[in-house]
């Protein structure tokens, strides 16, 4: 399995990272990118203990740029971007390689993703696509072509990733996987689900939970929503995001929760910031 390099981006992820590293099969190269954690030495020690290469960024440069930083050091045929709060099931990488060899036209793949409780997590739609291109829920039952990839575990041919110049560095967080998916599909070939490969993902556990972190993530989500929708030609990108932000903020459930108020207010501010910075956030063009 020297054909694969696994890349994971850690941000204060010392509590969950050991589970991922322990699940990586022997012979698979691994690169751990520390994205400005409070204690990068702890992440470095974990990486070294498991034989992984360690790369440190002095500050948090965003998920996509962190992935790009790690991928730049890889020389293998395939890249496997996996969140630090994930665990590979036995045979996961072998199944992905078999699918890639069986479908040489496809450029990138998702394994079957499960939540910690065993429930299948299936990304069948995207804010960057019209509803006509969304998949039905039952599509997750068998291998199939995907409209977009779920970013928590992306298996991609390195040549294709490099051809589209990787993740858009202007997207700090959220929708970077959808954006990469659409560029890969347009320029390099289909995206596929591989049900014979499984990864367990403890969604939302890659960073410590706190109201401040929730608000910060929501701000980036609002900004990324407008930018990415504009980039991919979705109609009324700002207006639709603004309506969603206001409806969330005015929901009775939000009014009863201080944490939700902070989160949804931050989402609104992110949407507004994206409009105010429209000229600065011109779409990144890989071509």
Q: What is the pLDDT of residues 178-205, one digit of tens each?
A: 999 999 999 999 999 999 999 999 865 5
DSSP string, 208-224: ---HHHHHHHHHHHHHH
| CA count, 13 A, side-chain hemisphere, 98 | 11
pLDDT tens-place string over residues 195-254: 999 999 986 554 555 667 788 889 999 999 999 999 999 999 999 999 999 998 888 888
Per-residue DSSP letters for 164-191? Answer: TTSS-TT--SSSHHHHHHHHHHHHT--E
The pairing of beta strand 191-201 with beta strand 108-114: parallel
Is 129 buried (19+), middle (13-18) or exposed (0-12) by CB count in 10 A? middle
Whether the pLDDT of residue 275 is over 80: the answer is: yes
Per-residue pLDDT at 19: 96
As a whole number of Å, the end-to-end CA separation of the chain is 31
Q: Can you state the angle between helices 237-249 and 211-231, rounded to 10 degrees?
A: 150
Residue located via tokens 């699940």:
23
The predicted structure's pLDDT at residue 89: 96
If one compares 285 and 106, the residue with the highest pLDDT of the two is 106
Residue 144: enclosing H or E segment and its boundaries? strand 144-145
pLDDT reported for residue 90: 97
State pLDDT tens for residues 124-178. Answer: 999 999 999 999 989 999 999 999 999 999 999 999 999 999 999 999 999 999 9
User: What is residue 276's predicted lDDT score, i.e. its pLDDT?
Assistant: 72
């Amino acid at each position: 399995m020297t054909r694969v390099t696994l890349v994971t981006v850690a941000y204060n992820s010392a509590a969950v990272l050991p589970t991922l590293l322990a699940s990586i099969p022997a012979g698979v190269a691994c690169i751990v990118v520390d994205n400005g954690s409070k204690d990068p030495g702890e992440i470095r020690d974990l990486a070294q203990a498991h034989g992984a290469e360690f790369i440190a960024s002095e500050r948090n440069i965003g998920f996509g740029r962190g992935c790009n930083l790690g991928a730049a050091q890889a020389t293998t045929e395939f890249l496997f971007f996996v969140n630090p709060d994930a665990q590979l099931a036995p045979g996961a990488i072998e199944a992905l390689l078999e699918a890639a060899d069986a479908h040489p036209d496809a450029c990138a793949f998702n394994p079957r993703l499960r939540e910690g409780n065993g429930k299948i997590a299936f990304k069948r739609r995207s804010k960057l696509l019209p509803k006509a291109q969304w998949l039905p829920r039952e599509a997750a039952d068998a291998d199939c072509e995907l409209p977009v990839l779920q970013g928590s575990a992306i298996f991609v041919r390195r040549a294709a990733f490099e051809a589209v110049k990787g993740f858009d560095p202007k997207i700090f967080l959220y929708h970077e996987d959808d954006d990469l998916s659409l560029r890969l599909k347009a320029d390099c070939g289909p995206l596929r689900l591989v049900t014979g490969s499984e990864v367990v993902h403890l969604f939302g556990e890659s960073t410590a939970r706190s109201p401040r972190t929730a608000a910060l993530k929501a701000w980036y989500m609002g900004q990324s929503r407008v930018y990415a929708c504009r980039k991919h030609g979705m109609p009324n990108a700002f207006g639709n995001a603004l309506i969603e932000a206001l409806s969330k903020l005015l929901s009775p459930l939000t009014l009863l929760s201080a944490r939700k108020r902070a989160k949804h207010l931050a989402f609104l501010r992110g949407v507004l910031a994206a409009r105010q910075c429209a000229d600065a956030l011109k779409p990144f063009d890989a071509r």
